[in-house]
Amino acid sequence: MVAKVVTVSSGKGGVGKTTATANMAAALAAGGQKVVCIDGDIGLRNLDVVMGLENRIVYDIVDVVEGRCRLRQAMIRDKRLPELYLIPAAQTRDKNAVSPSDMVRLCDDLRTDSDWILIDSPAGIERGFRNAIAPADIVVVITNPEVSAVRDADRVIGLVEAEEKGPARLIINRIKPEMVRRGEMLTTEDVLELLAIDLLGIVPEDERVVVSTNRGTPIVLDGKSLAGQAFRNIARRLQGDSVPFLELDNQGGLLGRIKGLFRPGGD
């Protein structure tokens, strides 16, 4: 086994990095892969609550780096899935407690014994982000179809390229198909044209994301959720499968097609 290290970043905060990390991890693990998640957001840890593992934390990543415990002791196993683990962030320390080379060393120790290592990056482009991308084989950038999120994503994509970790792959999260149809939200094509990188997935706005986060159970295990479906598809694409993108924001439907007829150039 030689794990691939996938870092999930965004630039702008609150666009869905932690949600995506937890759900890609759960989807991969549900498919029989051995997955280790690392919460890279030291001081503002959240991956533990989103995954529903907050009550089982004993040691954290800073304990590992500073030698207070062995790596295996800081890995919390998610008992609901065959082989899913979390290494939590420290809550009472700051980002400088871990360095990029610490992250590389930690991931090298994990690599031989897992299929995937998923790192949840903090918002911003400072130390925590540098730590998170240092060991990455693949960087996934998450954005929302909204001006400031797209602008910040572009910045992060540029930094990832400069660090020779590119090309990054894009997830567009929280798409509202109805707004897209009205022309009041950027389409997937718009965002791809602006950012000029490969698309890994599109995820709709979905109330069930909040419900599943409330419960601490991944949405990929909810068969009825479209967002869950989207994250399952993303996990498959990471494994190299070619899976068609969900049809979220096309001009489909009779009304859409009629409107399309009147638009000059048909866009």
Partner 1 sequence: MSGFLDRLMGKDHRSANQAKERLKLVLVHDRTDLAPGKLEALKDELIAVISRYVEIEPDAVRVEMEQEGRQQRLIADIPLRAAAQRRRRG
Ligand X SMILES: Nc1ncnc2c1ncn2[C@@H]1O[C@H](COP(=O)(O)OP(=O)(O)OP(=O)(O)O)[C@@H](O)[C@H]1O
Query: Of residues 54, 83, 137, 161, which one binds partner 1 by CB under 8 A?
Result: 161
Query: Of residues 5, 6, 11, 19, which one binds ligand X by CB under 6 A?
Result: 19
What single-letter amino acid sits at 39?
D
> Residues 20-45, buried b or exposed e (16+ Cβ, 10 A)?
bbbbbbbbbbbbebbbbbbbbbbeeb
Kindly tell me which of 111 and 139 has the beta carbon lying closer to ligand X: 139
Hey, which residues between 58 and 117 contact ligand X (CB under 6 A)? none
Residue 183 interaction partner, one of ligand X, Mg ion, partner 1, none, beta carbon < 5-8 Å per kind: partner 1
Q: Does 205 bind ligand X (CB under 6 A)?
A: yes
Pair 177, 204: CB distance under 8 Å: yes
Residue 72 interaction partner, one of partner 1, ligand X, Mg ion, none, beta carbon < 5-8 Å per kind: none
Residue 253 interaction partner, one of ligand X, Mg ion, partner 1, none, beta carbon < 5-8 Å per kind: none
For the CB of residue 106, give the shortest distance to partner 1 in the complex, in Å.
31
For residues 19 to 58, the per-residue mask of contacts with Mg ion, x marking binding by CB under 5 A and - elsewhere, is: ---------------------------x------------
Local structure of 62: helix, strand or coil:
helix
Q: Does 69 bind partner 1 (CB under 8 A)?
A: no
Pair 36, 94: CB distance under 8 Å: no
Residue 260: partners with Cβ closer than 8 Å, 6 or more residues away:
251, 266
For residues 40 and 9, give the distance between their C-alpha atoms in angstroms, rounded to a whole number.
10
Pair 237, 201: CB distance under 8 Å: yes
Pair 30, 81: CB distance under 8 Å: yes
Binding-residue total with partner 1 (CB under 8 A): 25
Residue 185 interaction partner, one of ligand X, partner 1, Mg ion, none, beta carbon < 5-8 Å per kind: partner 1
What single-letter amino acid sits at 32?
G
Query: Of residues 7, 10, 18, 187, which one binds Mg ion by CB under 5 A?
Result: 18
For residues 9 and 211, give the distance between their C-alpha atoms in angstroms, rounded to a whole number.
23
Residue 180: partners with Cβ closer than 8 Å, 6 or more residues away:
145, 186, 187, 248, 249
Per CB under 6 A, residues contacting ligand X are 10, 13-19, 41, 46, 123, 173-174, 203, 205-206, 209-210, 213, 227
Q: In the complex, which residues of this chain contact partner 1 (CB under 8 A)?
A: 146-147, 150-151, 154-155, 157-158, 161, 180, 182-187, 190, 193-197, 262-264
